[in-house]
Every structure is written in C-alpha cells, then in structure tokens.
Chains A and B, each alone.
Chain A
Amino acid sequence: MRHTVIPFGPQHPVLPEPIHLQLTIREERVVEALPALGFVHRGLERLVEARDVPQMIQVVERVCGICSMIHAHCFCMGVEALLGIEAPPRAQVLRVLWSELHRVQSHLLWLGLFADCLGFESLFMQFWRIRERILDLGEATTGNRVIVSVNVIGGVRRDPDAAQLAWVAAEIDRIEEELRRLEPAVLDDPTVRRRTVGKGVLSRDQAWELGAVGPTARASGIAEDMRQTNYAAYGRLYFEPVVETDGDSHARLRVRFRETLASLDLVRRAIRILPAGEVRLKLREPPAPRGEIVVRVEQPRGELLYYLKGSGEKRLDRVRIRTPTFANLPALLAMLPGVSLSDVPVVTLSIDPCISCTER
C-alpha cells in the first residue's frame, strides 16, 4: 500500500491560525506528521531593543490576543522581582481576578471552537454567548475588551469599586449556573463522545517526556499547574489542579470544562479576600532592571515562561517567551500517528493551539 502525503493547513486548517502539518497517510490513518511554522513570526522578542520596560508591557500583551492579561502579569512580576519591589496586596488579588476571568473566556472560546470543529454549531453559539458576558465583565472593570492593558510595573491601573465587584460576583454565579446546564451537552453527548473518546491518546510518560504542559499534560495525569507555585495571590486561594488520567481528546475536554468552573470559583474567592488599600506603587524613577530572572505562570494553555535579562538600562537586554503551545507541539506530533484522517482536526484542536503565541 502506498503512502499519501496530505498538506493540512496552513490556511486556517481547523482554527483561524496558520499552521501547516504535513501528514503522511496510509489507508486513512496518519503515519507521520511534520509541522511547518513561521507564517506569523513577528519577532516581538526583538522589539525589546526599541521599547523601554513599561512600553514592553503593551508589546507582550500582543503575543497572544486571548490571554493578554496573563502575559503582562508574568512580565510585570519578573520586572518587579528584578527591581526588588512587590505589587501591593490588593493589586496582587486583582491580577488573579483578571487572570482567572481571562482563563474563563479563553476556555469558553476553545470550548466553542471545539464544538464547532465537531459540527456542533448550537453548542458553539451557546459557549460564545456566555463568553461575551465574561468579556463584558473584563471591559467594565479594566476599560478594554480583550487586550486589557491593566498591568503596570508595581501594580495595576484600575481599581474596581465595591458595586462593580458585587456585580462581577453576581454575574459569575449566573454564568456558572448556565455552564452547569450545558455540562451534559458537552461531556455526555454521544456524538461528542464518539468523536473524542480514545482519539489522540497521550500517555503520562509520553506527556512528561515530550514536555507537555497545561491542560494537555493534566489530561494525561500530570498534576502540574504553575498556580501551585503560589505566585501573586494564589497562595491564599487554596488552589487545586484539575487532573484526568485518560489522556485522550475527551479527557482534555473534561479538564478544560472543569477548569472553567474552577476559575469561576477562584474569581469568586478572590473577590471575597480582596484587601483594601493601594493598587499601584509610586515609582520614583523609570524602571531599569538589572540581572536575570525566569518567571513562570499558568496560562489557559499551560505553563508560560519568561526569561528577562537587564543590565540596569531602561531597556532590557533580552526577553525570551516560551509559550505553552510551543511546548505542546511535540506532544501533538506524538498524538497524531494512528489517528484517522477525519479525526486530525479534532486532535489538533484538542491541545488548544495558539500559533501566534508559538511564533511570537
């Protein structure tokens, strides 16, 4: 039997982002998958030469459109550590609050796209309808819809008042109730199960060996979540990672759905423990960090790593960003062999790929 090579992508293969997979097919089954990247490489890391430290916040927010808050959060934490300062406690909790709202909207976006890729249009609409309300919460409290631009070195730029926070908490309750009503439609639907159970299995050992992170690793039984390192205010929120052990596409779906609910709960608890006080330190001079640091936070797609190097100038020497999808691509290449061609989109989407993150 001869092999057939099928190009998958790069024009919006299953998600509206450019990635190319060269699939070697034998009797409708994938034998080998090879990636080709570089369609959206923007060289953002090198912009560090032209932007000073506060301006880099707006640059790193644009690495990923979906989780801008968490990129800026990570960058600010790194710079603050290099400067030897710490954001005020209220700002730390607010950062968690917005990070978790971003995680919820990112997961809802993915849940919608995943339903769409299965052909489940009405579920796609339901998830995106709910997501819109999360975006409203973000817009009302931060001022921008998706790229919220709320972090600064030494704190945050907005301070929601008590009435806004009460509204956020009430909305979160209503959103959770709606999501719980959708739960059987996502997790137990026989069509969804037939398309996902046993598809693209990644064993625990494979996941570790290939360096998978985030929900992809947690669906394979690796209970590692950067929020366990208790950065910002996570130490006071008694956080537990969501873990599944099956390692297939359905396990990744379950992890993300349960994480969405867990994040809503974190938002609620963050509002409850929010201390009063300042949200922003007054810096006496423009930040000029010196030294090297590695910071890690948990993005919706997994572990995000920033390496910052400064020499006491107002511009950093090097910013290196390792995004979670970059770490999950080798795992995807290991999942695909053996999968039927018609399941390739489902398996590809199940790692929640973000290509503009990957290439930066």
Chain B
Amino acid sequence: MREETRTVPVQALLAEVARLKAEGWRLVTLTASELDAERLDLLYHFDRELRLQHLRVAVAKREAAPSISPVFFSAALVENEIQDLFGVRFAGLLLDFGGGLYREPESPAAPFCRCGGPPQETPPAEGGGQTPGGEGCATR
C-alpha cells in the first residue's frame, strides 16, 4: 500500500473513526478480504484533500464487528454488502438488511468466502446449506 495504513484493534475502531471524522477525513469505503477460514481483513479507506489513509482491522467471522454507521451513515450500505457477501455481522448497523441486500433466502450463504462458509445462525433451508466456494484455501 502506497498510503499510510494503520492496524487498529477492533475495540478501538469506533473511537479512531470518530477521531478521523473530526479531523475532516471522509469515509471513502470499506474493503473486506478473506485472510483464512476464521478471520476477515477489513480495510477502512479515508480521504482528505485527495490524500488517502487506511485503517486495517482483523475481525473474526464468528463475532460481530462493530458498525461504524453511527459515525458515518454512508458506511451502512457497504457494511450490508459485506454482510451479504462474506457472512459476517455488523453490530449496531443503522440500516440493517440482515444479509438480504443482494441475496434472496435461497442464495448461497456467503458467496465471496472461499475458505469455508460462515457459522450458520439460522438452520439452513431445505436442500441443505452447502458450503460455498468449495475450493478451499490450500489451493490458493
């Protein structure tokens, strides 16, 4: 990464985002990418006067990550997208589609997870909740 990237613990995330907002940093977006079967890498991109800065947070797929939508409402849409595609949960999401922004009830559970699906909170629909992806991480 060419720009400043800081790794922050999950607990400190909300305070850090609020501080950046007070300093005039605009939230550009969030990026999720899978680290392994257990963890997800969340990147928060901020912009001020055409300069970028990133915050990196590693979250466990099983635990709900804190939503930053109370600070930046614009994060609500992208957090919903990550919920849909990676199967994590965001706690305190202001506009929560509950994993149904893109997906229908019969859609695969976490279509962008390659290293095995997320924990199934609700019992899978008839036909069995398949593990999406299926290639596994070992091949990558």
Contacts and interface: CB of A to CB of B under 8 A. Distances in A.
Do any beta carbons of A and B sit within 8 angstroms of each other in the complex? yes
A270 interface: no
B1 A228 contact: no
B55 interface: no
Interface string A299-322: 000010101010101000110101
A113 to B, nearest CB: 24
Nearest to A40: B102
Contact of A292 (B1, B29, B52, B101): B1
B78 A326 contact: yes
Interface string B104-115: 100000011010
Contacts of A45: 112
B49 to A, nearest CB: 8
B2 A293 contact: yes
B21 to A, nearest CB: 9
B59 to A, nearest CB: 16
B50 A43 contact: no
Determine the interface band of chain B, counting residues with CB < 8 A from chain A: 20 to 34
B28 interface: yes
A317 B65 CA distance: 23
A294 B111 contact: no
Main SS of chain A's interface residues? mixed
Contacts of A326: 29, 77-78
Interface in B52-106: 52, 54, 72-74, 76-78, 84, 95, 100-104
A46 interface: yes
Interface of A: 34, 36-38, 41, 43, 45-46, 49, 81, 208-211, 224, 226, 228-229, 291-294, 296, 303, 305, 307, 309, 311, 313, 317-318, 320, 322, 326-327, 329-330, 359
